[in-house]
Amino acid sequence: METMSNKRNSSFELLRIISMYLIVVHHFVVHGITQIGNTHGLKRLTMLLMQSGGKVGVNVFVMIGAYFLIEKNFKFSRVIKISLISIFYSWTIFMIFFLLGKIIVPYKWYEILIPVPGTYWFVSSYIVLMFASPILNKIINNLPKHQYKNMLFFLLFIWSIIPTFLISNMIDLGLSHSELGNSTVSSFVLDYLIIGYIKKYPNKYVESKKYSWLILLSGISIMILAFYLESFYMYENQLVSEYVNNFMNLNSFFEFWISAGLILVFKNITPFSNKFINIIAGSTFAVYLIHDNQFIRPMLWQKVNNVQYQGSIDFLINGLEISLLIFIICIVLDMIRRILLDNLFNSISQQIGNYLDKKIE
């Protein structure tokens, strides 16, 4: 009889679905025709709230992966599988658009042939994180608690707190944010180390449903308050707008805060297994690869034309509905790929991966 301990915990799979949906909603705003800078009041607040969920979704997606990678040995097959799926969608989408004569953006052949690293920034950064995971796991498993905590606070300070609260063009530290090592990879590493600390050193705060919700809701409340004040009272103040934009960056202190809060809330849900949720979650990565492809992106959001939704409620409802429709279509397309090609991709990944694993043993 199969027990919950050896089943896939669907609470994290549900969160994986939610995080990717937040990313699609984010793209509805940032890739749409309507510019936040031309709005104010409730419409501006609505757009800021919809946009802010995107980077939370990215961080959560990485944190979920980290939660399981921490306890696993590095396998080339995982990297190869992700690369194969990325290449498949890059080549397939390009061929369809090329044959239909629908390519409307400039492109480089080498980026089409080898999209990783290249056109998909998330995939490239995540693969770097996977290669770094053995070293990060050694740090997590071997560093004494006080040193781990000090390291985490230091990295959080230079990679998140400084970029969030100090604007390089307005406050001169003699250092740019790039010189402090800020990048998408550094943000992913911080995600990894935060999750590592939560897993290795559980306490009453991270194990409590009440405190988990408190952490999440307090982070969300601060973001909403900042957005509200900026949208209604200070939208013409350049400095305030810069800070609000910083709050929504991938390495924002508040994005990490809310992302960690979401992880804690779903971690503390009573474990359950749901086949439907697990199946959907297995295709969430493809949602990103399809809808944010360099050829689909401009065509998609021009067709959506979010400028037609003038009212804040109208913008919100249509944005959520359209994002859900895009999400569902991408899931269905990837399920077809999985039915037809998943066994082949798994076989190729395992064969090449096993060969490379033996070479580095």
pLDDT digits (tens, 9 = 90+) for 16-72: 999 999 999 999 999 988 887 777 889 989 999 999 999 999 999 999 999 999 988
* Percent of the chain topping pLDDT 90: 59
CA–CA separation, 274 and 255 (whole Å): 29
Residues in Cβ contact with 34 at an 8 Å cutoff, skipping those fewer than 6 apart: 47, 306, 307, 309, 315
Split into its structural domains, the chain has a count of 1
Helices and strands, number each (H, E), in the chain? 15, 0
295-315: b (≥16 Cβ within 10 Å) or e: bbeeebbeebebeebeebeeb
Confidence of residue 6 (pLDDT cuts 50, 70, 90): low
Q: For residue 168, which of 156, 158, 177 has the smallest C-alpha distance?
A: 177
Residues in Cβ contact with 76 at an 8 Å cutoff, skipping those fewer than 6 apart: 352, 353, 354, 356, 357
pLDDT at 182 over 80: no
Q: Which domain holds residue 271?
A: 4-359
Angle between helices 209-232 and 41-69 (to 10 degrees): 150
pLDDT at 179 over 80: no
CA 231 → CA 134, 139, 169, 227, 346, distances in Å?
44, 43, 23, 6, 49
Q: For residue 130, which of 116, 111, 150, 143 has the smallest C-alpha distance?
A: 116
Measured in degrees and rounded to the nearest 5, phi and psi for residue 136 equal: -65, -40
Q: 338, 284 in Cβ contact below 8 A? A: no
Stated pTM of the model: 0.91
Confidence of residue 230 (pLDDT cuts 50, 70, 90): confident
Angle (nearest 5°) at CA 19 between 346 and 103: 70
pLDDT at 233 over 90: no
DSSP code of 36? G
CA–CA separation, 6 and 334 (whole Å): 26
Tokens coding 232:
């209604």
Residue pLDDT, tens place only, 149-177: 999 999 999 999 988 887 654 455 555 55
Report pLDDT for 236.
73
Tokens coding 45:
């607040």
CA 225 → CA 49, 161, 175, 273, 349, distances in Å?
11, 19, 30, 37, 47
pLDDT at 284 over 50: yes
Half-sphere exposure of 157 (CA within 13 A, CB side): 6
Residues in the chain: 361
Average pLDDT, the chain: 88
